[in-house]
Every structure is written in C-alpha cells, then in structure tokens.
Amino acid sequence: MSTGKIVVCGGGGFIGGHLVADLLRQGAEDIRSVDIKPFSEWYQTSPKVENVQLDLQDKAACERALAGAHTVYNLAADMGGMGFIENNRALCMLSVLINTHLCMAARQQGVARFFYASSACVYAADKQTSPDVTALRESDAYPAQPEDGYGWEKLFSERMCRHFREDFGLLTRVARFHNVYGPLGTYAGGREKAPAAICRKVIEAKLSGKHEIEIWGDGHQTRSFMYIDDCLKGTQAILASDILEPLNLGSSELVSINQLVDLVEDIAGIKLKRSYNLKAPKGVNGRNSDNTLIRKHLGWEPEVRLREGLEKTYAWIYGEMTRK
C-alpha cells in the first residue's frame, strides 16, 4: 500500500470505481479519483476521496491530476465492448493523448510508481483466427497486428511507458486486461461487454415473456472473462512487482459465446430461442490468456470461476432492471 497520494485515473469508470473502493478497504487515506464524466455518471463515488472531473486528454489537466502524486493507476480510456471499439476507432486512438500526457506529468511530478491498463486487444490478429485458439503469450503481441484503433493505441501506449522507464526512470508497470466483468458495470447503451450484454438480454427475455435472444456472430467465437475482484488483486500485485514487461491479467477459463449464453440461461432458469446476427461486430474468432508468466512471477491465478462471477453479475443487473 502506497504511503503517499494515490491517483486513480478513470476512477469514475467500472474498474476504476472498484479499485478506489478496494484501496479504501485496505486503509488508503489519500486518494484522488479523476474522470472526465460528470459526477452523476460515475459508476461509484466515495466522499472519503478527492473526486475530480478533468479531461485527461489535456496536458494541463494531467498535470493538475497528478499534483503531489506518489502512485498512479491509469485506467482512463474512451472504450467499450466490441460494438463500440469497432465503430469508434478514431475516438479509441485519441486515448493515446491520455497516457502520453500522464507519463509526462508523472515524470514532472516525480511519481514513484505508474500503472498502465493495457488490453488483450494488442495481440496479433493472426494468432486469433480459430475458436480453438492457443492461449496468448505476452510475446504474441509482436510482430504487431493488433485490433484496429483501440488495440493500436494500447500497444503504442505500452511502448510509451517502456521508453519513459528506460529514458527517464519513471517506474512503469503494464497489465494486459482480458475481458473484465462484474457488478456495477455497463450493461446497456452500446459500451457493454459480452457478459453484461448477455445477462441483460436474458433478463429482458425473461421479464417480457418473449423467450428469444439475438447473439452477435455465430456463437462459436471463444473468450475468457475475468471477474473484477481478481482484476483488482492482479493489478495491485503487478504494480508492486519488479516485472518490467507487460503481463497478461486474465482468466484461462475458455468458453464460447454460446456456452456463455448457456450459463446465463441456467442462472435465469429459462431456455431461449437463439438467432445469430452475422453482420454484428464480433471481434476475433478466439482469444484466451496464457497465465504462465504471472503465475511464475507473482503466483497469481484467478480465484472466481466464471459461473460464480456471472451469478453475482446477473443478480446485480436484474436488480437494476427491476428496480422501481
């Protein structure tokens, strides 16, 4: 736990909000949470921290955000699920300004530790062409062929962190997040990811009595999904570590989208008629996390199985959708 000021950039978002809450539970007393959204749109807020609304694409805003900072978590980005990132490539690319200006401000402020949240979208597309994908190792990011837009921005920002560490001595650590999900996240509106989207669709079908569901793609595409609690533990472990290169942070529990729907249907106690929208964004055919390095270096392994995490996520979304 940092003994100085901790700044969580993107603190009004899903992962950032959970991270702030977790740091408070651990006894952190000097936290600044920064996000571009109006406070009314933050996923979580706490009166025990300094909550600041700033556009971190702006260099001066980054300097203000990091004033007096000891530890920085950069979770800020304009992003969402596949439906968002495939249709907003320029917006995703502009997030490069956030990490660039934060690195500059961190160097200026003498920040002790700087965490950057990267993504599995950095991985080369030709490694993800089959649903029966071999789990992705950290070295599979090069030769570079990342997800267009969002993935390129993440890969570039990883290099920015590396070179600030090498050239200026800024202690940077990078994690490649693999599909983080859980309660208090986006489940509607276009930015939601697959677990929340499937939960919402199943709940809509259950509440309406129209037992049908549309699935994006053919349902055979495969992914792994990491519960938010495991993400928080892994993030803090990576920041505190001596590991210089980016590390995978994800589950290796591979499922197809059809299997994901099976699980949520079972939790809901219904079976739905499925239709497949082959024109909808679906991303790569297969992606899974190889956790060999993080297990070797940090002894980290996800503790929450997909079924357990989905039950908690489904219950929260159901409560939100049925709340009077």
The confidence score (pLDDT) of residue 83 equals 81
Residue 295 has pLDDT above 90, yes or no: yes
The confidence score (pLDDT) of residue 79 equals 84
pLDDT tier, 324 (very low <50, low <70, confident <90, very high otherwise): low
pLDDT tier, 289 (very low <50, low <70, confident <90, very high otherwise): very high
Burial of 57 (0-12, 13-18, 19+ CB in 10 A): middle
d(CA 202, CA 268): 7
pLDDT tier, 1 (very low <50, low <70, confident <90, very high otherwise): low
Residue 274: strand pairing partners: 213
- Reported as a single tens digit per residue, the pLDDT across 109-121 is 999 999 999 999 9
Region 293-319: mean pLDDT is 97
- Reported as a single tens digit per residue, the pLDDT across 47-76 is 999 999 999 999 999 999 999 999 999 999
The confidence score (pLDDT) of residue 87 equals 87
Region 255-280: mean pLDDT is 97
pLDDT tier, 82 (very low <50, low <70, confident <90, very high otherwise): confident
> Is residue 309 within a helix (H) or strand (E), and if so which, with residue range?
helix 306-322
The confidence score (pLDDT) of residue 283 equals 85
Tell me if residue 187 is catalytic: no
The confidence score (pLDDT) of residue 81 equals 77
Instruction: Tell me the average pLDDT of the chain.
Output: 95
Among residues 150, 187, 227, 318, which one is catalytic?
150
| 262-269: Cβ within 8 A, 24+ apart | 263/306, 263/307, 263/310, 264/198, 264/199, 264/202, 264/310, 264/314, 265/202, 267/307, 267/310, 267/311, 267/314, 268/202, 268/203, 268/206, 268/314
The DSSP bridge pattern shows strands 273-277 and 212-216 to be: parallel
Its pTM stands at 0.95
- Reported as a single tens digit per residue, the pLDDT across 144-162 is 999 999 999 999 999 999 9
Query: What percent of the chain has pLDDT above 70?
Result: 99
